[in-house]
Amino acid sequence: MIFKFRLLSDEVKDFVRDFEVRAEQTFYDFHKSIQDEFGYDSSQIASFFLTSASWDKEREFTLFDMSDGENNTTVPMDKAILKNFITDPKQRLLYVYDFFNDRAFFIELIETKKELEYTDYPMVTFAKGNPPHQILFSNKDLGSFTEDESGIIDFEADYDENLGSEFGSEFGSDAPEGFSEENEEYPTDE
């Protein structure tokens, strides 16, 4: 059996991706497919969450085993087979791909169907729009980055030339009233 999932983003309105995944595959297989499709950095933390119909998080599937004892509700992605957890014909999930900014894709099971012979799964069956960038820093999109052979990271976003410009008068020669660069003491009431 094949699960067909639709991914949407609340950041990019014209973005849609449909993925087909074998019911016998793991959440990790689905995760890798998403990462590969969007060109995301696979070293970043990500998790799936089963959710209620109103998108409330219920159960987490993590990249690493984070179990801490008996009352643990997390399951490692590579141990979680989809058909063992996807039981609702309209199951909803969140795929959190940017933990520091709590950014996620909204995922819904839209169809189950028979597997096609000689077909590699998971696969993308519909694509519209560009996905959001994976990493945001201080609400500034850093784009993606690559590392060359020497280990130097090259940021592809147009951010470096504007670095610091968002601070305005908080830094530099525009010191607050009563405080000058020559006199590095705070003003007194005298």
Shared domain check, 175 and 146: yes
- Please give the Cα distance from 88 to 109 (Å, whole number): 8
Specify if 162 maps to a domain. Answer: yes
More reliable by pLDDT, 177 or 21: 21
pTM, rounded to two decimals: 0.70
* CATH code, 124: 3.10.290.30
- Please give the Cα distance from 185 to 178 (Å, whole number): 9
Helix (H, G, I), strand (E, B) or coil at 110: strand
Specify if 7 maps to a domain. Answer: yes
The predicted-structure confidence for 146-157, as pLDDT tens digits, reads as follows: 555 554 544 444
Query: In what helix (H) or strand (E) does residue 35 lie, and over which residues does it extend?
Result: helix 27-38
Q: Which amino acid is at 3?
A: F
The predicted-structure confidence for 61-118, as pLDDT tens digits, reads as follows: 999 887 776 667 789 999 999 999 999 999 999 999 998 889 999 999 999 999 999 9
Tell me how many domains the chain contains. Answer: 2
More reliable by pLDDT, 20 or 185: 20
Give me the pLDDT at residue 160, please: 43
Q: What is the CA radius of gyration of the chain?
A: 23
Q: Which amino acid is at 144?
A: S
